[in-house]
Amino acid sequence: EVQLVESGGVLVQPGGSVRLSCAASGFTFSDHYMDWVRQAPGKGLEWVARIRKRSNSYSTEYAASVKGRFTISRDDSKSSLYLQMNSLQTGDTAVYYCARVAIMFHCDFWGQGTLVTVSS
Amino acid sequence: DIQMTQSPSSLSASVGDRVTITCRASQNINSALVWYQQTSGIAPKPLIYAASTLQSGVPSRFSGSGSGTDFTLTISSLQPEDFTTYYCQQYKSYPVTFGQGTRLEIK
């Protein structure tokens, strides 16, 4: 059974940093691109970042709203995905989901999400 | 960026009704479109990908169509568990973008 479990959500002050983790199991993690997607309270879904697999040099893509502040990374030996979030703003308050990217490039499995609240 | 516009934003219907939700892309995305269902507080679940391919395990009352810029999600006979929120998403180019969502409510 595919499982994605996020952790690291916290209350942080504006300008602070947070590192989210996503532990994957039930599939060959190294075979898949992975995404982070967020959802602000009461709002819609916003794609945040993607990391490709080793054969694609672990290359990355970011939404303009987070580029230069957030860094997506992975550790295939630990089947784990990460999101380093720096210079956090109140607008970054959201539930952050990690998601597995299927061969057709949509997200076919999602974690349960972890809440990051940016507030003073 | 490719803008995704869903309509309607909300829709009232009854159990057993047939409903259609539309999604329009601001430029050609071929068939690179997925429909997600999200129940409040739970992670999104893919229903249809590549515009018209049913995700494994999804009931056959869900169907998708379209290509290029105009897409539809149809639910042929609404069940009680279908009254929730639906999103389209394009994955033709970066940044990946979502529609604003359609909330399906019980009439």
Neighbours of A80 (CB within 10 A): 17
Look at residue A104 and tell me whether its pLDDT is greater than 90.
no
- From A41's Cα to the closest Cα of chain B, the distance in A is 10
CB A17 within 8 A of CB A89: no
How far apart CA B17 and CA B79 sit, in angstroms, is 9
| Average pLDDT, integer, range A42-65 | 97
Look at residue A25 and tell me whether its pLDDT is greater than 80.
yes
How far apart CA A38 and CA A44 sit, in angstroms, is 9
Q: Contacts of residue A45 in chain B, CB cutoff 8 Å?
A: 36, 38, 44, 87, 89, 98, 101
pLDDT band for B6, please (50, 70, 90 cuts). Answer: very high
pLDDT of residue A71: 98
> Which candidate, B76, B66, B75, places its Cα nearest to that of B23?
B66
Q: Contacts of residue B100 in chain A, CB cutoff 8 Å?
A: 44
pLDDT of residue B97: 97
Q: Which amino acid is at B40?
A: S
User: Cβ B89–A35 below 8 Å, yes or no?
Assistant: no
pLDDT of residue A103: 86
Q: What percent of chain A has pLDDT over 90?
A: 98
- Residue A28, Cα to own-chain centre: how many angstroms? 18
User: Cβ B43–A110 below 8 Å, yes or no?
Assistant: yes
Interface of A with B in 12-71 (CB under 8 A): 35, 37, 44-47, 50, 61-64
Q: What percent of chain B has pLDDT over 70?
A: 100
Q: What is the mean pLDDT of chain A?
A: 97
Most B CBs within 10 Å: which of A95, A106, A107, as the mutation test of the B interface?
Answer: A106
User: Cβ B96–A64 below 8 Å, yes or no?
Assistant: no
Report in angstroms the alpha-carbon separations of B31 from A91, A104, B65, B81.
32, 11, 9, 27
DSSP code at position B100: -
- From A75's Cα to the closest Cα of chain B, the distance in A is 23
User: Cβ B49–A106 below 8 Å, yes or no?
Assistant: yes
Q: What is the pLDDT of residues B85-101, one digit of tens each?
A: 999 999 999 999 999 99
How far apart CA A67 and CA A48 sit, in angstroms, is 9
- Residue B44 contacts A, CB cutoff 8 Å: yes
Q: What is the pLDDT of residues B33-85, one digit of tens each?
A: 999 999 987 999 999 999 999 999 999 999 999 999 999 999 999 999 999 99
